[in-house]
A and B are shown apart, each in its own frame.
Chain A
């Protein structure tokens, strides 16, 4: 049985205001075509690129977080190729002395993945290919925007591991503030290198699949490509070293015509850009100011008693984790209760709106108060769920409870009265429940309806069971 051998190249858009070498906006998302271009990023003659110090800082932070060795001086290189998305006819990147090398990332599963290198480079423009036209269209808003690219060792052995690795990288980049790492906005893209071999054998011939824009595409492309290569070998044929593209509609890879090799790129140190010094004290300062990374956060949540699934779901979404931490700080009760609401009803309602809970107007205090009202038995879980959409709009739960009269009735005498009224009004139903205690829910439903949903359902069930002299309130 063949096993895949996988290496990943991940590009992250750095969270800067301006481009890597000029003052044009780095946020191309939502802008009109060619709105953010200037003589520098258009590569016009006589212009001089000047390095954005924030981009260097972010790339440095990322390299340190990945456990990379950072050189005392780092250089920019020109990588030459001719394509309309590269207006200078080269991409400014980093060659032999990148900002980080020889790092490693440990995944929650215990798997360790070596990081070959990570470097700063500029993004290319965007090409549009109108249907049936003889031309393509070029938007250079992204051209020159800063990216950090990281390349792994061929340490990954399955599509599932690749997915786990990408989730880790995304969470690290978000926790560091290095990148939004949002694949859906093109801010996180991956190329994969994959070969297959029989376990223990040397690596096979590798194929590169480029431009994968979601974790799902990465997993699907890896699965497809490993199977394709295994079938070639099983049929006595050979794998050709090549670059392939990913057809999302057909869920298959296909050969690309590009045949550039490293030598064709004619890497040379960019004579227009001075080298960047990274003194030891700067590295130490970055190390000292490292924020809590996702795995440490996961460990902290587990230690606070949050169950694995919810803890991971929250810890690996930086913005949601910040909301969770602030809510727990404002809440008097077990953190698991907040986790249940945040990953359950709140996440569900936010998803239905197409956003993350962290992108709504939900405040930590409002969520803490909601959970406390339910804990105290003064609001039923059902009524609380109905309030969540309003909370996402910024509403205060206590005010909603008061204005809608939702306070749960936990007064035993009041519930007894309701039960009496319902039993007297429904004698046939009472007989049925006496014959078949499992039918108690029908009667309970009547009590809840009579209370307009405000009766505490546990108390009502107990009261009914007691009045009907049933042994145990059925679950």
Chain B
């Protein structure tokens, strides 16, 4: 197994993806292109440049601690692939004892 395969397997697990072999081959190729590009970015000379920081919030950029209307539950759930009894339904995730 190559280093790229290892990396892909690790990323699949983190992203909870289960790619078919032909999909994996395609993604692996994309990943190489992406990482090559990132390597070029990392090689750029940034000596003396400040690290990016988010702008400072003016006081008005914060909210007072007050309630605003929430979405009706039915509308929130309508966005999901599956719902049940007011909950979003997802594939089972329990890590058993």
Residues of A at the B interface (CB closer than 8 Å) are 16-18, 22-25, 32-39, 42, 44, 50-56, 73, 75-76, 81-84, 127-129, 133-140, 245, 247, 250, 254, 256-260, 264, 269-271, 273-277
Contacts and interface: CB of A to CB of B under 8 A. Distances in A.
Given A34-B73, A137-B84, A277-B56, 15 more contacts: A25-B70, A37-B70, A51-B63, A75-B53, A75-B54, A82-B15, A83-B16, A84-B93, A129-B93, A129-B94, A137-B87, A138-B87, A139-B86, A259-B13, A276-B56
Given A24-B70, A37-B76, A83 B93 contact: yes
B61 interface: yes
Contacts of A44: 79
Contacts of B24: none
Given A16-B65, A23-B63, A23-B66, A136 B55 contact: no
15 contacts: A18-B67, A23-B63, A23-B69, A24-B68, A37-B71, A50-B63, A56-B62, A75-B54, A76-B54, A81-B14, A129-B92, A129-B94, A135-B90, A137-B89, A259-B13
Q: Which 4 A-B pairs have the closest CB atoms?
A: A23-B68, A274-B57, A54-B65, A137-B87
A220 to B, nearest CB: 15
B18 interface: no
Contacts of B93: 83-84, 127, 129, 136
Contacts of A245: 95, 97
Interface string B34-64: 0000000000000000001111111001111
Contacts of A256: 95
Contact of A84 (B55, B68, B73, B90): B90
A135 B65 contact: no
Contacts of B67: 17-18, 23-25
A38 B68 contact: yes
Nearest to B84: A137
A259 B61 CA distance: 37
